[in-house]
Each structure stands twice: as structure tokens, then as C-alpha cells.
Structure 1
Amino acid sequence: MHRTAWKEAWRTITGSWARFFSIAALMFLGAFALVGLKVTGPDMRETGAAFFDETNLADVTVTSPMGVNEDALASVDGATAEFGYAADATVEDSLTTLHLMSTPEEISTFSLTAGSMPSGSDEIALTSELEGSYNVGDTVVFNDDDESPLATRSFTVTGFVRSAEYLDREDIGQTTLGTGQLDGFAAVAPEAFESPVYTMARLRFAETAGFEPYADSYLARLDEYQDAVEAALDNEADSPYEVQDRRDLQGYLTYGDSADRIDAISQVFPVFLFAIASLVSLTTMTRMVQEQRTTNGTFAALGYSPRAIRRKYLLYGISASTLGGLIGVGVGHTLLPTVIFNTYQEIFSFPALQLGFYPLISVTAVAIAIICTVLVAAIVATRELNEVPSQLLLPKPPAAGTRIFLERIRPLWRRMSFTQKITARNLFRYKRRMFMTVFGVAGCTALLILAFGVLDSITGVVNRQFNQIVHYDLIAVAAQQPEDEVESVDGVEDATSVRFEQMSVRLDGESIDQEIRSYFRTPMAKKSRWRWPALRRCMPGTTCLEQVPRRRTRT
């Protein structure tokens, strides 16, 4: 391109900074959304994988109140076992119940967030969720329980920890103490227990070193590891035990599903933004080419080829889209993943997000931004430069008058006012503007309906679950609980005896079990006004739950 053409291209950019930066801003938003949403899922999974590697999270865990068989578990092929103690205890003068675990040496270690790890039998490190309620140096006293394996009731807080076995901040697990729900966990030295046998074992398999923690291949291997552990414990018929893998850990699968949902959103949302950016670029570039019609005619009359004149607009589009795309890539790799991860930090307990750089996603985002702008610029400029120079030197003549479809419906057209006729002609004669308006309004409306729909779905679950399905306020669990005695408690309106069972169910075609609680009215229960939870039948064509034998618990 001649020097004059280069100068003209530069003057086109400097003479319309507002237009230039508007296109760059649109491409920034598209690249920002595409990169930010695309990398958030991998960043979340990478953060989880790094945390699991840092703490050397166990693949399989075996627990038994009667003690685990060390020799049997040590014989599992390819597994490294580490044994420890665990017990639930309720803080004195409160309903706060904690799950106390002995500090492991290698497998499923704790991540220290403040203070130091306990070293003496009277020291304790609490979950980081209790930081603020307790401080380092405070004393925690647990209720005296004759069946408790703890050697002492009073502990001094030395620090606060995070565990990969308890990712969910709220749902720690169930217990038979206090309210029935664990409020947290804590780490104590092995010397704090006076149990003659180990009550838990954590197993790590050498083959899992190269697997991603949320890969389908790894989750499939967990079934094999469970079978191997259960086969080694087949002779423990008199000892109740429970075998769990990572999928049973609180929050493990939920965290992976959250990352998958972000991946699903990234397939749709950026498409809307880039589509809107393309439409706006089409209007902007069309107006710019029409404004420079006389200038282009002058260059054509001086002997510049349409290709040389068109390069000016291509350079304009490439510069604006590249600038916006590169900034969007940089901000998308950092800001959006951090914002989304911090939102999930309200639910899950993880260290800081590990940000990664993904070249393929970055190049794709910039390429799409350039294509959206350059393609539009090429089409508009080519169409305009098809005319001869003498025509380009003259203002563009108005479009020839045409009759729209409504004009052919004479009874309707005659009854329309002048304003209505002008509006109808503007809508149907300028189809580009009409489609931009329709798609723009439709896209914005769709996003609004999507947002309100998600909000309604989330807020409606609580009302549906606890008003329409569940009708009780409290469940009291006891071996013998006379109904008359329960009803005598102040404030109790009605009560009935039920049988409680816990089972595993599996979705048809899935390999992951779901724990389900079942309540059955006992044959001797008296008549009451107590309403059973309302059941929702599976609709035709939907996936229903299929009950399967409970595999991981033996009593």
C-alpha cells in the first residue's frame, strides 16, 4: 500500500477514536466472556487437584467403631494404608458437635491456615470455619462421655486447619450427638485417643498418581478400588465397617459439578455477546464506509485499486478487534475466574484459586474477535467499492421506492394512520435495521428471562421442599422413645413413631450412588395428624431412581 494510503488509514483511526474504541470495547466484552468462562472450569479443577495433591487425599477410606483390620488392608494390592483414630464430641454447654481426627503423617493431611498443628495430647487445631469463634490459645472443653475414646476433655487451640475431606463449609456430615449434624471438624494428636485399636484407615493407590481427580477414568477406577478393599475385608463379618471413596466426601462431586456447569455456560453465553458485537460492528462499519464514499471515489479515480482501498477498513477492524481481544484475554484469565471462584468460596473451603494460561482459548478468542470485525468490514467495503469511481464521487442515491406487503392488503392499509404507515415502511424496507432490532431485543429479553428463571428456580426450591413436601419440624432419634413422653414436651403439637433406614440409590445408567434416608410408620404407631412427606412421582420419559443394594456399609 502506498504511503498516502497508509496515512489515510491512520487518519481514519485517529479521526474516529470513539468509533474505534466502541468496536474495541465490544470485542473486549466478547473475548472477556469467552476466555473467562472457558478457563474458570479448568482453573477450578486445577485448584482442586493441587489441593488434593498437597494434602495427598486418600482414594478410599475405611472406618469402623470396632477397629479396622490392619493386616487385611495392608494386603490390598498397590495400596498404601495409614491408620488413625476418629470420634465425635460435643462442646460443653453447647450443641456444637465436632468430628475429631488424629493428625495423619502422609495421607489426607491437614492444610494449616493459622497457628500451628497440635503436638501434645491436650492440643487441638479447629476447622478454619471456627476461626473468629475461637482464637489461638483458647480452651475447648468437650462433654464427658464414658464411651468417648478421648484421653482428655480439655484442649488448647493451637491453630486452624483446612481438610480436603471436608470441602463443603455447611454440610460436614451427620452424627448421633447434639443436633444430629456436625458443625465442624478438628485435628488432634494421636496421643489424644486412648482407643486400643485404630478406628479408621486411609488408602492411597499408586496407580492414581497420573489421573485427574475428576476424570471419568479415575472415577471408574474408584469402583475397582472399593471392590478390592471390600474383598480384603470379607472375613470381617463380625465387625461393622464402612468403605468410602472420594465420591462420598462432602462437597467433592458437588465442586466438580459446579465446574462442569461453568463449562456449559461458556458454550452459550459468549455466542450472544459476539453475535451482538458483530451486528453493532456491521452498523458501525457500514456508516463509516458510507461517510467516506467521496474519499474512496477520489482514491479510485487516482488509480488505487479496490483492494488497496479496502485494506484501510481491514486494518481498522484488525486494530480495533485485536486491541479489544487482547485486553479481554488478559482480563478474562484473571478477573472473571477470581470473581466466580470467590462466589463458590462461600460454599466450598479451598485455598486461593490457581490461575492458568490457556493459549488455545486465548488465540481462539482473539481470532473470533478479528473475524467478527474484519469479515464485516470486508463485506461492507467490497459492496460499496463495486461501483465505478464516477459514481463513488457522487452521494449515494436513495433506495428506489418499493411497496411492502402490507400495502397490498388494501383494506388494512387504508385504515392505517400516516404515522403507522411510515413506521411500517421503515421496518420492512430497511431489513438490516429491523433484524438488528429484533435480534437485539430478543437477546436482551432472553437473558432477562434466563436470569429471572434461574432466580425463581432457586428460591422456589426451599418453599417446595419444606412447605409442600416436608411437613415436620424436628426428628428425635432414640432406641425407645414413647410418643406420650415426646408429646409432653412444651410446644410439641403432634408426634408419631417412625422407622428410619438409610440406603443407597443409583440413577439409571449412572455409576454414582446417592444416599437416601427413608422413614416408615411403625405398625404400633398411634393415629396422628402428622402428615407424611409428599412424594413426587416420576413423569413419563424422565429418569427415576432405582434402588440398589447398599455396598459400602456392613453391620
Structure 2
Amino acid sequence: MVTNRKKTRVSKLDLMLLRMISRSKGQFAAVLTIIILGIAIYTSLNMTSVNMNHTVETYYRENRFADLTLQTAAVPAQELKALQRMAGVEKAMGRTSVDVPVITDNLDERVRLRLITDREEADDLSKSTLLEGKKLSGTGKEILIIEQFANARNLKIGDELKLQISGVQRTLEVCGIVANPEYIYLMENSQAVMPDEEHFGVGYVSEQFGQEAAGLPGSYNEILIRYEANVDEEGLIKKLEDQLDVYGVKQTIKQKDQFSNAIIGQELTQLDSMANSIPILFLLVAGLILMMMLSRLVKRDRIKIGVLKAIGYRDRQILFHYVKYALAAGVSGGLGGSLLGMLMAGGMTRMYLGYFHIPLLRIEFYYSYLVYAIILSSAFCAFSGLIGAKGVMKIAPADAMRAEAPKTGKRILLERYPFLWKRLSFSNKLITKNIFRNKKRTVFVLAGVTVTYAMMLFTTSMPGVIDQMMNEHFKEFQRMDYNINFAAPVPKAAVRDMEALIDAEIIEGKLEYPFELSNGNKKQAVSVIGISSDTMFFTFHDVKGREIELPERGMLISQNLSRLLGVGVGDLVRVKSYLPNRQDVYLPIKGIIKQTLGMNAYMDLETMGQQLLEKNVINGVYADSQDPDINKKLLPASNIASIMSIADIRAVYDKYMTMMVLSIGSMVVFSGVLGFCIVYNATVVSLGEREMELSSLRVLGFGKREVFFMILKENNMIAILGIIFGIPVGILMSEYSSAAFSTKLYSIDMSPNGEAMIMAAVYTAVFVILAQLATYRKIQRLDFLQALKNRES
């Protein structure tokens, strides 16, 4: 009998729980929405991250992605045997790489192809995956094309590619389409900013053809190394560089610094960071709303709780009854959010496929995250339920039969200033009093609007920040129209030859060469750029925005390079040359400059030639030119390695802005839903607590619309304060993001501008107003006469 009575009691409490959820279904749905969004973000980002990490690791392992790449001048094939015998080297492989122009029907179009030799042996490093077609036959008349370039230019098997090699036109037939782990993210170099798959590609050719194209018969200009297990990487690199020093080591690139791998590594790190931070914010907000709702429900159910205690229910049973309300939201939100997250993970993984070309990329569902998500949301909600419903423990059965004594009224701060107080209307006095007397609700709505605005500000700042980053780099920092690189150094007098070839307003010679800069045990390989002291193309500013001149001696370095090396103005850095028989040079840092894209050091052209290379030589030029035929004129020149057009870079950037707009739109919706749910729940709770007050206003002659506008005005005042407080919070969030998202490749200043602040305020206001309109029906349905009846009758 006792057991049956206990079962009956439990079932009655559960029935009461269902009725409680039904009576507050609007608020319950709002909390549920926040939990579902938070858990969906948690599940989707984590599953996408795991999918991407596992796929990249598998791809690298199966294609034997090289641990180290050494770019050299010319290494004889027989030298590989000595490298292979070194302790710590599992595999040493040589190959030849050279960039050549592609001849198209549009002679004004600049298209570059990087030819890389491919032996297609089973133990090769950084092997390609054949996606379509067949392997190279060895005739020297075929080429394998990287997938991104083939798709962008609509190349098919059997198509012909015309290449300009050392002034001679060569035609190759496309025999296959491939993917390669070195070019998951296809970019020509670090100065390219974004992929331009239509104008830069990679092709794999036979070893004989590639060496002839590069002018290196029987030699290699790239050495790939795979390590043995537990190798001392730094020690092995030192031995390899010493061994190859006589041949001229231009650059040493570790796997983690390899350009494509560094890009995807940064993306996955940011993905993990968002997966662990954004969901917690959503769950915290849901928890706070549940605390407020349950606290109000306990006060409303005061008599019911007293009756339950009087008939024998224990405090813990009743407390758990209210905690189950929160748990119902946690479990159902966790389940719904994890299922939605799984669907989102598939879409996000496919979206990443659009950026990173990995043929092994596949979508796997990790059902363990479903369990993790339910546990996470349930834990947050249960804890919030315990705190929100703890008032149950203080209610005694005898006291519960009487109405709760009203709180003693106090004067608010504004009443102490009669000059202001007397000028407020009756309704405005009520609004002001309610704002100050319901401090918890006011602070909750204020915090909610503040967080919503801060997230909106962060989101709306992104387009302007990136646009400013591009403008600052290409309009203020470096202002040339073309960056032209030579295949080999030439005398400075070659600038006059360029003036004869193309119509240009300004042409300046440059030196750009990779060196290793080090300070103690900190070192970084960067391009040191030598320019004229009176250059018209560069304007240098320090981190405080003050203009500084290019020094005659020493060097200027970018801010992110300064952080990596741990050096400041006046410090000496060691400059290690990759050229053979060159001694290390110590140079002073004369200034730290702000550079948004890339990481470089800058020197006077004459000084750089004397101290690091050779006197009176250049290996490229910068040019301002409106000549529409510049590509056509330079195409036959055998010593032109590449022509980079700033206008082309901007065009690629504009194309990628479309994807950013979609991403920003989703962030605005997420932020808006957060603000909507906070304001909606706080308003509904306020309506329940103020039924007597609002009913009295109706008796005094106030209409339902007037009551609604009073509440609307009250929330709007709090929202305005929330937006004001949200400005510094959003700026702090942006400053934190500036440090978090800045990398070796770019430095982001997330400081929001005035337009972003206005747009964030507009978006926040829209969602706040929508939340209040959703409560209008609640006001219309309130039974004011019933609320005026004596609760104890």
C-alpha cells in the first residue's frame, strides 16, 4: 500500500509538472530555443572539427606528407644518397619546381602554373591523389593538373595547355586531375592574400621535362624529408642545412609552417575555440532565465507548496518537482540541439570542402556527442533549477496559507530630486519606480541586451574590419599597381629596360629574398624586402600610427614578427642567409611597423645589397601603370617569374566577401535570438509579478494598449542602457578577438567603426521590439478582474 501511494504521489507531481509547462509554454519554448541553439553549435562545431582533424591526419599519412621541405638553388641527384644515410632521415626525395606563364586566348590575362616534377613511385613524399584520368606516361608531353585550377578554368582530360618556358611555347596534354596535400588551400604565395584558383594552379610533369623547364638538368631545387620516429628536429635541420650549404639553401620549411597546412591549422584552432566558448554563453543565458522563471513560479505556487508539505511531501520531493521543470528543458533541448547539430555538421563539413580540397573528406557522425550534449545541457539546467527553486525550502505550511507580506516600499534615487521627479507624468513615475525596485529583473535584461549588442557589434564589425585591412595594406601601406618578380637577379640598370617594355608612371627596383631572423632560441624565416629610401610605394607607420622613415642602416620589422622574435627597437637580430658561403649578420631593429597582411622585414635597397646579397642588383620591380597590355608585353620576357596585380587581388577578395556575408547573417540571427528570448522571458515574468498593479491601472481607466506601451517604454529604457553598456563590452570583445585571430600571415585590428555600432544598435533594437510585440497577446489575455480578487478568499 505504501508503495502504491508513493507511485500515486509521483504521478500527481508529474501531472502538475506537465500543467506547469503548459501554462508557461511560451517561456519554456524560448528557453528551449536558446538551449537547442547552444547545443547545436556545440555539436556541429565539435563534430566538424573532429571530422576535419581526422581527415587531414589520414590524408597526410596516406599521401606521405613531407615533414620538411628545403628550397635550394641546385642539388645534384647523387647528393640524395648522402642525405638518405643521415641519422633521423627515413626518406629523402628530390624534385624540381618552377613557375611558368600559361598562354590563353586573352593575352591580357595573367595565369601562372607551378610545374612540379613527379616520379609517381610508391614511396614518394607529398604524393598526389589521382581523381580523374590516368598517370603520366613519361613521354614529357602530358601534365597532371590540380583539381581547383581545373575546376576554375573548366579543364577536362585531353585538353591542351600552352606554356611559356624560357621564351619558348610548349604544349602539354592534360592526362589527369589530381589533389595534393601541399595544396589543400591553393595560394601562389603569402602575398596573394586569398586563393585565386582561376589564375594560379599547380601541374605535375615528368622529371625530365620539369628539370629542362627549370634549367636544372639532373638537379633538384627542392628536397623533401620524412623523419624517423623520435627525431631531434632542430638538430637534424642543422645537419641538413650544413650538408646542403654548398648548393645554396634558400628556405627551410617545417610541416607546421608549410603554407597550406598553416592555414588549415589556424582554421581548425579557431573552430575548436568557438566550439568551447559560444555554446557556454548560450547555456549560461538559458540557466539565468530558468533561475528567474522558477523563482517566480515558486512565489506564485506558495499556497500549493504549503498544501503539499502539509499532506506529507518532503522538501526534497517538492524541490525536485521544480528542478524537473529545468531538467525537462535541459534533456529535450540537449536532444533536439544535438540532432540539429548533426545536420548542421554535415553542411558545415561540406562548406569546408569548398575551402579546403581534401579528396578523403567524409562526414562521420559521432554519437557520443549526443550523450555529451544531453549531459552538458542537463547539468546546466539542473544547477539553475536548484538555485531558482531553493525558495521551496523556506516555505512553512502554516505561513503559506497566508499571502506573502509585501516588501516595504522605499524611495528611489530619482525621488530625492523633486525638481526632476515632479516633471514626470504618472505613468513615467511608475515606469521609473519599477525599473529601480525590480533590480534583479532590470540587471538581467540589461545584461542580456548588453551581451546581445556586444555580439552584434563583433559581427557587424567584420566586413568593415576586413575591408579596412585590405585598404590599409594596398592603399596606405603599399600602393603599387603591379609587383613584378624576376627569375634571377639582374643589375639595377634593368629598371630602364622595364621602362622601355611597359608604359608606367613610376617604376622602382626591389630586392626580396628569404632569410632566417633569430633572437636567442626564437627564429623565423621571412622575406626581407629592400626598397629605395625615397620609395613612392611604401608608407611605414609604427604601432601608434606615427609615420617613420626607412633607415639607412638596420631594418624595420612588422609587429607580428616582433612578437614572434621577442625583440624591440634597438635590439640586434641575427640574419642567417640561405645562400652558400654567407656569414651570419647582426642587424639592429630601427622600428616596429604596423602591417596587416604578411610578415616582413624592410631595409634600404643599397644597404641590403651590400650586407646580405650583392651590390647594385635587384630581383624585381614595383610599378604604377595603367597600361592595359602589360601582361601581353611581359609574357615573352624569359626572366619574368611572376606579375602580381593588386587589382586582381581585390577582385578575388570581393568574390570571397559573398561567403562572409552569409556567415555574418547567421551570427546576427543567433545573437538576435539570444536577445529576443531574454527580453521576452523577462517581460512575461514581470507581467506575472505585476498582475495586481496592472489590474489596478485598468480599474483607474488605463487601456490595454496604454499598459502595453508602459511596459514597452520600460524595456526600451533598459535596452538603451544595455546598448550603451554594450559598446565598451563589444570593444573589449573585439580587442580580445584581434589577439586571438591574428596570425603570422595577417594582423587583424577588430576595432569597430561608427557604422558597425549603428548597425549593431539597429539589429539589437529590432529583436528587442519583436520580443515585446510577442508579449502583447499576453497582455490582451490577462484577466485583470480575476487578479484583483482576494487570493485568500
TM-score of the aligned structures, taking structure 1 as reference length: 0.82
Contact 1:75 1:232 in 2 (8 A): no
User: Is residue 7 from structure 1 mapped to residue 11 from structure 2 by the alignment?
Assistant: yes
- Amino acid in structure 1 at the alignment position of 2:184: L
* Root mean square deviation, CA, Å: 3.6
Contact 1:123 1:157 in 2 (8 A): yes
Find the counterpart in structure 2 of residue 115 from structure 1: 133
Q: CA deviation at 1:467?
A: 0.9
Q: CA deviation at 1:468?
A: 0.9
Q: CA deviation at 1:260?
A: 2.0
User: Is residue 55 from structure 1 mapped to residue 55 from structure 2 by the alignment?
Assistant: no
- Amino acid in structure 2 at the alignment position of 1:204: R
Counterparts in 2 of 1:292 and 1:116: CA distance versus 1, 3 Å: farther
Q: CA deviation at 1:514?
A: 4.2
Select between 421-430 and 471-480 the one with higher mean Cα deviation: 471-480
Counterparts in 2 of 1:201 and 1:486: CA distance versus 1, 3 Å: closer
2:103 is paired with a residue whose SS is coil
Contact 2:136 2:144 in 1 (8 A): yes
User: Is residue 206 from structure 1 mapped to residue 204 from structure 2 by the alignment?
Assistant: no
Contact 1:171 1:250 in 2 (8 A): no
Cα distance in 1 between the residues matched to 2:423 and 2:401: 43
**Can you list the C-alpha shifts for 1:421-470, whole angstroms capped at 9, x where unaligned?**
21121011112211111111111111111112333221110111111111
Find the counterpart in structure 2 of residue 131 from structure 1: 150
Q: How does 1:332-343 map to 2 (within 5 A)?
A: 332=341, 334-343=342-351
The structure whose RCO (Cα within 8 Å, separation 6+) is larger is 1
2:188 is paired with a residue whose SS is coil
User: Is residue 467 from structure 1 mapped to residue 468 from structure 2 by the alignment?
Assistant: no
Find the counterpart in structure 2 of residue 494 from structure 1: 506
Find the counterpart in structure 2 of residue 70 from structure 1: 80
Cα distance in 1 between the residues matched to 2:204 and 2:561: 40
2:39 is paired with a residue whose SS is helix
Count, aligned residues: 524
User: Is residue 376 from structure 1 mapped to residue 384 from structure 2 by the alignment?
Assistant: yes
Select between 299-308 and 43-52 the one with higher mean Cα deviation: 43-52
Q: CA deviation at 1:397?
A: 5.0
1:323 to 327, 332, 335: 332
1:2 is paired with a residue whose SS is helix
Contact 1:140 1:157 in 2 (8 A): yes
Counterparts in 2 of 1:54 and 1:185: CA distance versus 1, 3 Å: same
Contact 1:244 1:552 in 2 (8 A): no
Counterparts in 2 of 1:31 and 1:246: CA distance versus 1, 3 Å: same
User: Is residue 533 from structure 1 mapped to residue 528 from structure 2 by the alignment?
Assistant: no
Counterparts in 2 of 1:302 and 1:476: CA distance versus 1, 3 Å: closer
Q: How does 1:101-500 map to 2 (within 5 A)?
A: 101-103=116-118, 104-105=120-121, 106=123, 107-121=125-139, 122-132=141-151, 133=153, 134-145=155-166, 153-171=170-188, 183-190=200-207, 192-193=209-210, 196-199=217-220, 200-207=222-229, 222-234=233-245, 237=246, 242-332=251-341, 334-351=342-359, 352=361, 355=364, 357=366, 365-396=373-404, 398-477=406-485, 479=490, 482-483=494-495, 486-487=498-499, 491-496=503-508, 498-500=509-511
1:207 is paired with a residue whose SS is coil
2:223 is paired with a residue whose SS is strand
**Can you list the C-alpha shifts for 1:100-151, whole angstroms capped at 9, x where unaligned?**
22334221111223333323423221010122321112122323537x9xxx
2:327 is paired with a residue whose SS is helix
User: Is residue 24 from structure 1 mapped to residue 39 from structure 2 by the alignment?
Assistant: no
Q: CA deviation at 1:205?
A: 1.0
- Amino acid in structure 1 at the alignment position of 2:453: T
Contact 1:44 1:341 in 2 (8 A): yes
**Can you list the C-alpha shifts for 1:302-336, whole angstroms capped at 9, x where unaligned?**
2222222222222232232022123334444x455
1:91 is paired with a residue whose SS is strand
Contact 1:113 1:161 in 2 (8 A): yes
1:233 is paired with a residue whose SS is helix
Counterparts in 2 of 1:516 and 1:26: CA distance versus 1, 3 Å: same
- Amino acid in structure 2 at the alignment position of 1:438: L
Counterparts in 2 of 1:6 and 1:508: CA distance versus 1, 3 Å: farther
Cα distance in 2 between the residues matched to 1:24 and 1:174: 47
Contact 1:172 1:182 in 2 (8 A): no
Cα distance in 2 between the residues matched to 1:277 and 1:255: 33
Structure 1: tracts of 5 or more residues without a match = 209-217
Contact 1:538 1:544 in 2 (8 A): no
1:516 to 527, 537, 542: 527
Q: CA deviation at 1:70?
A: 1.8
Q: CA deviation at 1:344?
A: 4.8
User: Is residue 100 from structure 1 mapped to residue 115 from structure 2 by the alignment?
Assistant: yes
- Amino acid in structure 2 at the alignment position of 1:531: M
- Amino acid in structure 2 at the alignment position of 1:403: R
2:224 is paired with a residue whose SS is strand
Contact 1:251 1:348 in 2 (8 A): no
Counterparts in 2 of 1:388 and 1:410: CA distance versus 1, 3 Å: same
Counterparts in 2 of 1:112 and 1:292: CA distance versus 1, 3 Å: farther
Q: Which has the higher helix share?
A: 2
Contact 1:100 1:186 in 2 (8 A): yes
1:125 is paired with a residue whose SS is strand
- Amino acid in structure 2 at the alignment position of 1:305: R
Cα distance in 2 between the residues matched to 1:417 and 1:459: 48
- Amino acid in structure 1 at the alignment position of 2:463: L
Contact 1:58 1:203 in 2 (8 A): yes
Cα distance in 2 between the residues matched to 1:64 and 1:403: 81
Cα distance in 1 between the residues matched to 2:294 and 2:180: 56
Q: CA deviation at 1:206?
A: 1.8
Counterparts in 2 of 1:506 and 1:145: CA distance versus 1, 3 Å: closer
Contact 2:72 2:247 in 1 (8 A): no
1:142 is paired with a residue whose SS is strand
1:278 is paired with a residue whose SS is helix
Q: CA deviation at 1:353?
A: 5.4
**Can you list the C-alpha shifts for 1:149-204, whole angstroms capped at 9, x where unaligned?**
xxx933322221111122322335799xxx9x981111234464565424143221
Cα distance in 2 between the residues matched to 1:46 and 1:39: 10
Contact 1:242 1:554 in 2 (8 A): no
Counterparts in 2 of 1:263 and 1:511: CA distance versus 1, 3 Å: farther
Contact 1:125 1:186 in 2 (8 A): yes
Cα distance in 1 between the residues matched to 2:363 and 2:163: 38
Contact 1:243 1:553 in 2 (8 A): no
TM-score of the aligned structures, taking structure 2 as reference length: 0.59
Q: Which has the higher strand share?
A: 2
Contact 1:170 1:347 in 2 (8 A): no
Identical residues among aligned pairs (%): 20
**Can you list the C-alpha shifts for 1:350-401, whole angstroms capped at 9, x where unaligned?**
3425657495x76665444223322332233331452222443455454343
Counterparts in 2 of 1:7 and 1:510: CA distance versus 1, 3 Å: farther
Counterparts in 2 of 1:242 and 1:438: CA distance versus 1, 3 Å: closer
Counterparts in 2 of 1:421 and 1:485: CA distance versus 1, 3 Å: same
